[in-house]
A and B are shown apart, each in its own frame.
Chain A
Amino acid sequence: MKSFLFTLLLFVLMLCAVITNTLFIDRLTRDMLILIDQLPGSAGEDGMPHLNRLDARWEKARKWVGLSVSSSDINRISDELISLRAFCKYGGNGDYITAREELRLAIEDLREFEIPLANLFFDK
C-alpha cells in the first residue's frame, strides 16, 4: 500500500510538473510571438530595442525551457534570433522578413499546449 501511495504521489507531482511546464512554454511562446509582431516591418536600427526585449525574454526563459525541450530546438531559436539581429542591422528587407518568419516558425514549434492528434503519432 505504501508503494502504491508513493507511486500516486509521484504521478501527481509529475502531472503538476507537466502542466506547469506546458503553461510556462505556452506563455513564453505567446509573449515572444507578441514581441515579434511588434517588430518593425523593415530592417534598420529602429528594430533593435524590440530585438533586445525579445532577446531578454528568451534568455530569461532559456534554461527552464531546456528541462523539457531538446537542445536542437533551443539552439534553433537562439540561432534565428542572431540571424534576425544581423539582418535587422546590416541586411536587406527581404532577408530581415524571412529571418523574422523563420523565428516565428521556430517559436511556434515549441508550443504543445494544444495537442493535435498528429503530434501523438508523428514527431513535429
Chain B
Amino acid sequence: MATIFLRTVIIYLILIIAMRIMGKRQIGELEVSELIVTLMLSELATGPIGNRDIPVAYAVIPIVTVLTIEVVTSMILIKIPRIKNLVSAKPSVLICRGKLDQRELARIRMSIDELIGELRRQGNASVEEIEYAILEQNGKMTIIPKMQCRQPTLEQLGIHAEENGMAHILIADGYINRYNLNGTGHDDAWLKCELEKRGCSASEVYLMTVDDSGVIFFVPKEIFK
C-alpha cells in the first residue's frame, strides 16, 4: 500500500510537469492541474472495476492521494499566488492595444490562421477590430473589440431599462425547487396562491420561474394521449 501511495505522488508530479511543458493549448477548458486530476481519477477508478484481481484499496489510496494533493495545492496557490505560475499557465496577450504580438503567438505555438478563426468564431470580421485578444489559463480566448467596433449599450443610447436580474426555477416538471423558492424570498403559501390563480397544482406545472423583479413565467404540463 505504501508503494501505491508513493507511485501515485510520482505519477502526479510527472503528469504536472508534462502537461505544463505541453502548454495550455492542450487542455481545453480545464486548468492544467484540473485536467490531470480528471484524467488520473478516471483511469484510477476503472482499474479495480475492470479487474477483480485488483483490491479496491488500489483505487481508493491513489484517488484520496490525488484529491489531497489537488486540494492542498489549490489552497497553497490561493495563499501564495507567486507559486501559481509554476503550476498553471499565465494568460497570454496575443493582441495588445490593437497590435498583434507575433512573439507571443510563436511562443504558444498558435498560427495566425487559428487566431483569426477564433476571432471569427466570436463574431469578429478582422484583426483590425480587436483591441485585446487574451488566451486565458483555461484555454479559452477573451476578445475585447475596439471601442468603435463594440455594440452600443442601452446607457450609451440613452435608453432607461429596469433591472430584472435572472429567472429562478420554482417548479420544474412538477417538482418544487424549495432552495430557489426560499432564495427569492417567497414561501409555500405564496406559491400556492400563485398556482390557485392559474387553476392548477404544482404537479401540473411543467415550468414556473420568477425573476428578481417578481415577474412570473408559467408553462403548464401538456397531457400526451
B interface residues with partner A (beta carbon < 8 Å): 1-3, 5-7, 10, 52-58, 60-61, 64-65, 67-68, 71-72, 75
Least CB distance from B198 to A in Å reads 41
Q: A4-B75, A112-B2 are in contact. Are A10 and B68 (CB under 8 A)?
A: yes
Known: A8-B72, A18-B5, A67-B57. 12 other contacts (CB 8 A): A3-B71, A4-B72, A8-B68, A8-B71, A10-B64, A14-B61, A18-B61, A22-B1, A68-B1, A68-B55, A68-B57, A69-B55
* Chain A interface main SS type: helix
A82-124 Cβ-contact flags toward B at 8 Å (1 or 0): 0000000000000000000000000000001101000110000
Q: Which residues of B contact A10 (CB under 8 A)?
A: 64, 67-68
Report yes or no: B3 in contact with A115, Cβ–Cβ below 8 A: yes
Task: Please count how many residues in chain A sit with their CB below 8 Å of the partner chain's CB atoms.
Answer: 24
Q: Which residues of A contact B71 (CB under 8 A)?
A: 3-4, 7-8
Report yes or no: B6 in contact with A18, Cβ–Cβ below 8 A: no
A41 at the interface (CB under 8 A from B): no
A21 to B2, alpha carbons, bound, how many Å?
9
A69 to B60, alpha carbons, bound, how many Å?
13
Find the residue from B52, B56, B60, B64 having the highest chain A CB count within 10 A: B64
A69 to B58, alpha carbons, bound, how many Å?
9
Q: A21-B1, A112-B1 are in contact. Are A70 and B55 (CB under 8 A)?
A: yes
Q: A66-B55, A68-B57 are in contact. Are A18 and B68 (CB under 8 A)?
A: no
A19 (CB) vs chain B CBs: closest residue = B2
Q: Which residues of A contact B6 (CB under 8 A)?
A: 115, 120
The 6 closest A-B pairs by CB, nearest first: A11-B68, A7-B71, A18-B1, A14-B64, A68-B57, A119-B3
